[in-house]
Amino acid sequence: MTPSILGTASKMSLGTDVLSRIGHTPLLRLRAIERSVPHVTLLAKAEWFNPGGSVKDRAAWSIVRAAERSGQLTREQILLDATSGNTGIAYAMIGAAKGYRVTLCVPSNVSQSTLHTLRAYGAELVLTNPLEGSDGAIVEARRIAGASPGRYYYADQYGNAANWRAHYETTGVEIWEQTQGQVSHLVAGMGTSGTLMGTGRRLKAYNPSMHVVALEPDSPLNGLEGLKHMASSIVPGIYDPAFPDQHLEIATDEAYQAARRLAREEGLLVGPSSGAALAGALQVARAIEQGTIVMIFPDGGQKYLHETFWTSDE
């Protein structure tokens, strides 16, 4: 007997929720830029393919799930954290999808695009002193949590082990499988350091000779949103400075130039922190005889289009 159309459709999947789309991002080869370093393979983990638009979806989702499992986060509580942008967007998206109220402490000088996105998801914002950067937001989040114990679940992305574990369990595994174990170098910027620590630990578990390169801005005052200049910042609790095999400092202008190059030579519109990853990877490439370098590209470039560096030819 031929099944009816209705009967067939009832057995089919009718879609998935937005949170199921976190992870499994593509690995893109930079063939045009490879021409300048033909002895290496350059691969970019394209994290803007996550539904919230950045790598931070992974950490935020891991933090929320761990808090739910432990009973630390309940429906009666407000999810609270400090953020410079992308993690806040991830929290706000997850909160909207899961029905949690979200309060975020954010430096007031973050882009209007970021602020509009956070508000669109329904997050409550506490704007902090722009001169204090993400550290000022952290101090304020701690103050709010301490003043109202029990009312908030303070997620503390900078000190929460579920942050780096997200990348140990997903990002590192994906990179190993996508490169069929050929990856020799990992290059990643540091904000909370969760991406670097978790991905690097997983890749070193697969191959102890994996070379892990940590990137940070070259000065406290920089234009690399989401990255920390560790020497002048509150150092994240999850960061182990002895773990990376190599540390590189990237100038803002160098990252901007690399972001422009990615747009114009590869057709990839990415944010400045992704430009920093390419700049660092090229430094590594010039110093080795061969290798397969994987860079973490944290987010896309749409929310940075107001920046003037896109049209600069310098």
Structure-block tokens of residue 127: 């704007």
- The answer to whether 213 touches 288, Cβ cutoff 8 Å, is no
User: Distances in Å between the alpha carbon of 37 and those of 4, 210, 249, 288, 292?
Assistant: 58, 20, 20, 10, 11
Tell which CATH classification among 3.40.50.11810, 3.40.50.1100, 1.10.10.10, 3.40.190.10 matches the domain 18-50+171-311: 3.40.50.1100
* Predicted confidence (pLDDT) at residue 243 exceeds the cutoff of 80: yes
- Return the pLDDT at 36: 96
Residues 54, 62, 273, 274: which is the catalytic one? 273
- Identical fold at 18-50+171-311 and 56-154? yes
CA distance 169 to 193: 15
Residues 45, 54, 56, 184: which is the catalytic one? 56
* Predicted confidence (pLDDT) at residue 170 exceeds the cutoff of 70: yes
For residue range 5-58, list pLDDT tens digits in order: 333 444 556 788 999 999 999 999 999 999 999 999 999 999 999 999 999 999
**What DSSP character marks residue 4?**
P
Neighbour tally for 85: CB within 10 Å: 26
Q: Does the active-site annotation cover 134?
A: no
Query: Which fold does the domain 56-154 belong to in CATH?
Result: Rossmann fold (3.40.50)
Neighbour tally for 300: CB within 10 Å: 18
What is the mean pLDDT of the segment spanning 230-258? 96
Structure-block tokens of residue 255: 């990252």
Domain boundaries, the chain: 18-50+171-311, 56-154
Q: Name the β-bridge partners of 152.
A: 78
Please write down the HEC assignment for all residues of 82-130: ECCCHHHHHHHHHHHHHCCEEEEEEECCCCHHHHHHHHHCCCEEEEECH
Beta carbons within 8 Å of 21's beta carbon, 6+ residues apart: 50, 51
pTM value surpassing 0.85:
yes
Neighbour tally for 12: CB within 10 Å: 7
Q: Does the active-site annotation cover 111?
A: no
Q: How sure is the predictor about 147, in pLDDT bands with cuts at 50, 70 and 90?
A: very high
